Amino acid sequence: VLSHLDDRCIYLVGLMGSGKTTVAKIIGEVLGYAVFDSDKLAEQTAGMPSVAEIFHVHGEAFFRDIESQVLKDLSTMKRLVVATGGGAVVRPVNWRYMKEGISIWLDVPLEALARRIAAVGTASRPLLDQESGDPYTKAFAKLSALIEQRYDAYANADIRLSLEDMAAKKGHE
């Protein structure tokens, strides 16, 4: 599929911690595409230092409006790889923009996501930073709720990459 891109943008979608930023950089390097991160562009648009700060000061709906504007602007361009925020799939209008390009869902087991997030902390991820308690357990609980709500939205992606939980596999060998 990637050899028939015709300069179209590539959008990486998936839950927080699924590796969208890392994979975007790799694909960008391989294809010689510019790499963008919709969270970073939203921060720049809002003139705020972090997504967490945007949520805190203006609320989630405000962030989602900016996120849609960012995706709309990007959809007019070519030869970009975009790491989207984990919730970018929820608003149907965003799919109108992302369907101008090719979308790839990085589908990673919840255990692996929760482990990665627990390792880096939840401070930069406002949706996960709400409750107290063990970071792994609370990340796992919230991610389970999110995948339940968003499964169909992620499934709109053109390509689904189901990634194994390598660490878990190794542990069982």
| Residues near ligand S3P, by CB under 6 A | 16, 20, 39, 51, 85-87, 125-127
Please count the other Cβ atoms lying within 10 Å of the Cβ belonging to residue 90: 16
Shortest Cβ distance from residue 88 to ligand S3P (Å)? 7
By C-beta, is 24 or 102 nearer to ligand S3P? 24
By C-beta, is 53 or 173 nearer to ligand S3P? 53
By C-beta, is 28 or 87 nearer to ligand S3P? 87
Shortest Cβ distance from residue 157 to ligand S3P (Å)? 14
Q: What gap in Å lies between CA 153 and CA 72, rounded to an integer?
A: 18
φ, ψ of residue 11 to 5 degrees: the values are -115, 125
By C-beta, is 148 or 173 nearer to ligand S3P? 148
Shortest Cβ distance from residue 1 to ligand S3P (Å)? 23
Shortest Cβ distance from residue 4 to ligand S3P (Å)? 27
Question: Is 121:135 a contact under the CB 8 Å cutoff?
Answer: yes
